[in-house]
Structure 1
Amino acid sequence: MSAPSPWWSAQVHADRRPLLMMRNRVVAALRTHFADQDFVEVETAALQVSPGNETHLRAFSTRMLGPDGRHAPLHLHTSPEFACKKLLAAGERRLVTFARVFRNGERSHLHHPEFTMLEWYRAGADYTELMDDCAALVGCAAERAGARRLAHRGRQADPFAPFERLTLTQAFSEHAGIDLLATIAGDGATDRAAMADAVAAGGLRVAHDDTWSDLFSRVLVARIEPHLGIGRPTILHEYPASEAALARRSPRDPRVAERFELYACGVELANAFGELTDPVEQRRRFETEMAEKTRIYGEAYPIDEDFIAALAVMPEASGIALGLDRLVMLLAGAPRIEDVIWTPVAENASC
């Protein structure tokens, strides 16, 4: 069997071009959408001291040659989040960026090593305002794309329907039969044994070295995500405090955090936080994540000390990252993310 033609062959490009032109229309509409709300569009540097400090995110790394001939390690960012929050600390109130971001070791019909992250931040806003933003944005994108539905591999969602809002506690109970909060103490500490018993009772594998977080993720992927965003988009919110990442804990219940994810057709589209502004707590979380990264992968990334310093003066804010390519893919009903990327990264690059 001959190899498929490359994306730059005239015939393949002709087939892909309608989807790519749809992408352009969506991007133009979203730029207008944000400009009409007085958001400032910013450009963030892709080269950073730290690419991000989440356990399972892996970066592309390089070295910068200084004028004195010395080499300094740098990384292509996995998100523009650190840079955007520094701009909030600098005084910006509403900002948006269409950032090219890079994640190593991620490639599938939903993942690409280089993709476009649409991030926006609102200073002084509760994170529930971002839920409303998502509904308005998806509707705007669908209208400009001429799409009456979001579709992916046999699943569909109405982009104009009121979004479902579902807590993690509700989702685990409804779709997995697990009382999630019963495995979390009042201070947010997790009970691995209780979670393992619940997961095993539900028929999922439990390995001896699985952490509570591993088990949580396994249930989420296997039992919860396939049901999300079917018929209409779903906002999955109130993540456990242990999964807060850069989000602050809920003042209503310290067991959960002000974090939500947006799903459509079973596909995760966006991740949002009521932003943590406590530099001491953020450093503690980063150090915990990097210790776990070292245990699993034998490597860790430095902490961006400028970012930690900026948190101390950053205003209360909420922010969100949305995968632009995935949104366009669902609007087009395309089976693969590469179908809506103008110049996909070569898969057979020689080592």
Structure 2
Amino acid sequence: MTRTNSKPSAWWSSHVHADRRPFLIGRNKIRAALANDFAVHDFIEVDCASLQTSPGNEAHLHAFGTQAISTDGRSVPLYLHTSPEFACKKLLAAGEKRIVCFAHVYRNRERGPLHHPEFTMVEWYRVEETYESLMRDCARVLALAAETSGTKTFRFRGMEADPFLEPERLSVADAFRHYAKIDLLATIDINGQTDRDALAAALSANGIRSAEDDSWADLFSRVLVERIEPHLGQGRATILDRYPVSEAALARPAADDPRVAERFELYACGVELANAFGELTDADEQKRRFMEEMAEKARIYGETYPIDEDFLAALRLMPQASGIALGFDRLAMLATGATRIDQVLWTPVAETCT
């Protein structure tokens, strides 16, 4: 008898698990290979607590909140971290030089083929080293993941990338000029302030829609998503470099142009894999940027998150460093040939929970 309108089988159904198991075993092998490689390169693996006083202060990141009950019965708000970044930087302030963290992180309002409310992020930091050193790390990580999985080509949604080729390096300004015919830097002044109307006019001239209430950041994101990202990581990985300083709240400005920052993102097959910074260590400037981000969050979503003053205090002691966050599950997807993130998660969060 044929069943109709039946629910999809749960991930723990034996036949579903049997289909997913090769991807999961592949994930484990890549995790072990990366951990060994970081150890060979003198990184200390650290384990950061998931519960934090602040989940981060980026306008479009959404956290899971909870309450801790103190021994005297007081209720204290805590959050599951969206990244181990604050904790890792406190460790740098404490004196660590090279650290790596394989962290479970939590982001609300995220679900899809490439998004999951709980996922694994690999973050690593190099003290007194430039963010170009992280670019070399990225090339090594891609090749190692592919070699471990026995694959020569990453494939996703009709795109292919050779993980053994050195990634191309493309500035955001050049990407806007090449793929959208927009002079992005002409809409940013020497102090990093953005001109919303100038960017809106540039979008209109190139047939890209916009709305009256779109901010400069909204317009920037639309061009990036619609015109640029679909081309990134085709043939080889792409390092999209030198983001506008207004789009890099945790990165220091570039030495040669204060309009842009030492921030890059790594793409393969159109998939964003990593986000890297030459880290900002000016605590006063960092607080100002956090407050701007929370004002934007309040405007759009009607909520804010607390600022971790302990983190700002640590930042005053933190040496110059570069750091990167890589979505490990997405890397495992590309390396094993999976098409959805839940295929490389041992125990996915139930759909009904999100």
Interval containing the TM-score (normalised by the shorter chain): over 0.9
Query: C-alpha deviations, 1:32-63, integer Å up to 9, x for none?
Result: 00000110000000000000000010100000
Determine whether 1:21 maps to 2:19. Answer: no
Match of 1:37 in 2: 41
- Matched residues in 1 for 2:352 and 2:281: separation? 43
More divergent stretch after superposition (58-67 vs 201-210): 201-210
* Partner AA of 1:113 in structure 2: P
Matched, 1:255 2:247: no
**Partner of 1:272 in structure 2?**
276
CA distance in 2, matches of 1:333, 1:23: 11
> For 1:118, which of 116, 122, 137 is the aligned residue?
122
Question: Structure 2 counterpart of 1:255, which letter?
Answer: R
- Rounded to whole Å, the distance in 1 between the matches of 2:8 and 2:204 is 43
TM superposition shift of 1:78 = 0.2
**Counterpart position of 2:89:** 85
Structure 1 counterpart SS, 2:351 = coil
Task: Give the letter for the 2:232 counterpart.
Answer: L
Q: Deviations over 1:300-326 (max 9, x none)?
A: 000000100011010000000000000
Query: Does the aligned pair in 2 maintain the 1:270–1:322 contact within 8 Å?
Result: yes
Q: Distance in 2 between matches of 1:55 and 1:204?
A: 24
Aligned twin of 2:199: 195
Contact 1:151 1:332 survives alignment (8 Å): no
Counterpart of 1:323, as a letter, is G
Q: Tell me the distance in 2 between the aligned counterparts of 1:48 and 1:70.
A: 17
Q: Is the 8 A contact 1:183 1:192 kept in 2?
A: yes
Question: How do residues 200-349 of structure 1 correspond to structure 2 at under 5 angstroms?
Answer: 200-349=204-353
Matched to 1:307, the amino acid is: F
SS at match of 2:257: coil
* Cα deviation, residue 82, structure 1: 0.2
Q: Contact 1:192–1:212 (CA<8 Å) still a contact in 2?
A: yes
Structure 1: segments with no counterpart, 5+ residues: none
Cα distance in 1 for partners of 2:273, 2:87 equals 21
| Mapped contact 1:271–1:320 kept (Cα < 8 A) | yes
The 8 Å contact of residues 188 and 242 in structure 1, kept in 2 or not, is answered as yes
Structure 1 stretches of 4+ moved >6 Å: none
Whole-Å Cα distance in 2 between the matches of residues 304 and 142 of structure 1? 38
Q: 2:99 pairs with 95, 108, 119, which one?
A: 95
Task: Tell me how far apart the structure 1 counterparts of residues 130 and 155 of structure 2 sit (CA, whole Å).
Answer: 30
Question: Which residue identity is paired with 1:209?
Answer: D
Select 1:140's aligned residue among 144, 167, 170: 144
Letter in 2 for 1:17: R
Distance, in Å, in 2 between the alignment partners of 1:64 and 1:302 is 15
Paired with 2:288 and 2:178, the residues of 1 have a C-alpha distance of 33
- The CA distance in 1 between the partners of 2:353 and 2:237, in whole Å, is 37
**2-side partners of 1:110 and 1:245: how far apart?**
24
- Residue in 2 aligned with 1:65? 69
Secondary structure of the equivalent of 1:239?
Answer: coil
TM-score (norm 2): 0.98
Cα deviation for residue 349 of structure 1 reads 3.2
The corresponding residue for 1:51 is 55
| Alignment partner, residue 163 of structure 1 | 167
Distance in 2 between residues matched to 1:349 and 1:41, nearest whole Å: 31
> One-letter code of the match for 2:171?
T
Q: Secondary structure at the match of 2:6?
A: coil
**1:40-98 superposed Cα distances (whole Å, 9 cap, x missing partner):** 00000000000000001010000001000011000000000000000000000000000
Q: C-alpha distance in 1, partners of 2:88/2:216? A: 31
Shift of 1:186: 1.2
Q: Shift of residue 333 of structure 1?
A: 2.0
User: Residue 109 of structure 1: SS of its match in structure 2?
Assistant: coil
Separation of aligned partners in 2, 1:99 and 1:37: 19
SS at match of 2:130: coil
**Contact 1:164-1:233 within 8 A present in 2 as well:** yes
Question: Contact between 1:19 and 1:339, CA under 8 Å: does it hold in 2?
Answer: yes
Q: Partner residue of 2:158?
A: 154
What SS does the corresponding residue of 2:242 show, helix, strand or coil?
strand
Percent of aligned positions that are identical: 65
SS at match of 1:7: coil
